Structure 1
Amino acid sequence: MDISRATRSVQKEDVWQAADALLLEGKRPTIERVRQKIGRGSPNTVSPMLEGWFATLGPRLGGVGGQTQSGAVDLSIGSGLPAALVQAMQQVWEQVQAQAAQAADAELEPVRQDLQAQQQALDDAQQALEQERNHLAQQRATTEQALAVAHAQIKMQGARLSDLEQAGRQKDQLAATQQQRLQSLEQELFANRKARDEADLAHAEQLRELQHSAQQQQHRVLQDLDRARQETKQAMAAQRAEQETHAKLDAQWQQERQGLQAQSELQAGQLQHAQAEVQQLLHRLQTAEATHTQALALQSHQHENALAQLRLEMAQSAVAQNAGRGGNATPTADAVAANGRRPMRSSAPTARPVRMLPGSRRRGKI
């Protein structure tokens, strides 16, 4: 449907005119160039029209010319056309022939590929047939081998069947022997059961006697156990009483011990308090003695100063009196000198012996 529409829209004259115009422009007319020149048309529509144009190109140019050795038309012989145009047309002709050859090759290529595919399929079929033939031959050989093995197995099964029949007969004989032995064992078992029943009766009688003896012995043991329990209770009661006595004595001893410890702690506290008071008294006594010694030293120093001042005043008064009298100055000076030579009492106070308190001598022994 698309091709018919393109045929109605693009005419042969349009294609030929476009090809002539391209040829006059010095270009080789191709399908794409013709379509571009026309501005429409499909390649399938333009291609046969362009081939028709190439087919009528020779007669349209005058139909005069020869052919070269290669089969190409020589338009330069008797055509009367310019050499350049003839050469261009010759090139176009050669290109057209090449395109025709390519088109023919393109058309023959599917046929060639189809033939090659058929040949390949034929080769594949022949190869598959050969493989099938080989497979059948292998299957035949395998089947014949399996058949031979089956015949051998049948022979072996026959021999085994005869062996099994013989073994069955032997088993029947063995079963008869076992049956006879079973009967003898049943008789022996019956005799053993009878002997066991008699032994069970004797054992039951002995067991009853042993149980009676055990009950009597158990009764005696229970009586002994009751007596032992009573004795144990009495011993435990005596032990509890003794433990209570020990507990009371222990509690009394603990109380006395605690009282002694409290008394000892009280006496130790009193002793420490007395020692602290003695230390305080000693400290006060030492402080008082030091204060008294300092006061005595100060008083003695003041007394010596006052005495020296008095002597100095007396000497000055005597000097003044002697100076007023005139001749009695020497004895007064001698007296002053004598007074000056008197030894002065030492200002250092005499250390008094420290009185010790009655308890201070034993301070180191406390």
Structure 2
Amino acid sequence: MRQLNVIANPSAVREAADAILAAGKNPTVEAVRARLGGGSPNTIVRELNAWREALGERFLALEQRPPLPAPLGEMVKDLWTVALTHARAGVVDELAAERSSIEGARLLLEADRQELEKTSQARALEVAELRGRLELTDRARIDAEQRLQQVTGERDAALMEAGTIAAHRKALEAELSRTRAEREGDRQWFDAEQQRLLREVDAQRQSAKDSARSVKRLEDAAARAAEKHAGELARVRDRLQTAEERRSELVGRVKELERQNRVRRASPTSKSSSKRKATPKRK
């Protein structure tokens, strides 16, 4: 919008009017505005009316002074006549200028109104565009919030599943530790049982050797006393036969224990077939 940047104050308007009148011209509204470089036409019209009313008083004050020399008095009279003529003509010119100024102001106001309408239309378009963008932003925000809720739910479900998996893993680790402890216990039991069986086998072997030596001694004694103790020899032979059967039985048991030992070594985790199996007692 256009603006009247120059302020038409009373003193500026009077000085401009005096300067225009001294140049022999009529101080109209447009002439004063042109000399001031702008200003409100209404303000200039009001100040020019006040200037014209004061102009007559200024000339009357000049007439009340001591008489001037004739040439100077004639000059003042001519100047007064010109001022009156300009003042009379100025009224008409002032009215025309005022109408022109009013028309110019109206045209300016109309241009400003049209410009305001264009600006308002542009602002309305901008507002509509901004509202559209705001609606899109709101929809995007709603979609983002829904997506956030979905992701939050998925995260919570994943956390719950992770907790379940962690608990299951801990249970498996505990089960594995228990299984390892049981296997270690079984291994220790198997080693102890193996050592016991080996000691028993050694004892059986030693007993067999002792029996064989006893049988040998008995045979020797029997041979020496065969003639004298025939009945005793028969009994010794029976005992020898019994000892031999016992030795054969012990040898069979030793072989069975060795076979069982090999089976246990081949499958150390099989508890159902080997764990704490009762060892037969000696007869």
TM-score if structure 2 supplies the norm length?
Answer: 0.46
Structure with the larger RCO, 1 or 2 (CA within 8 Å, 6+ apart): 2
- Determine which structure has more spread, i.e. the larger CA radius of gyration: 1
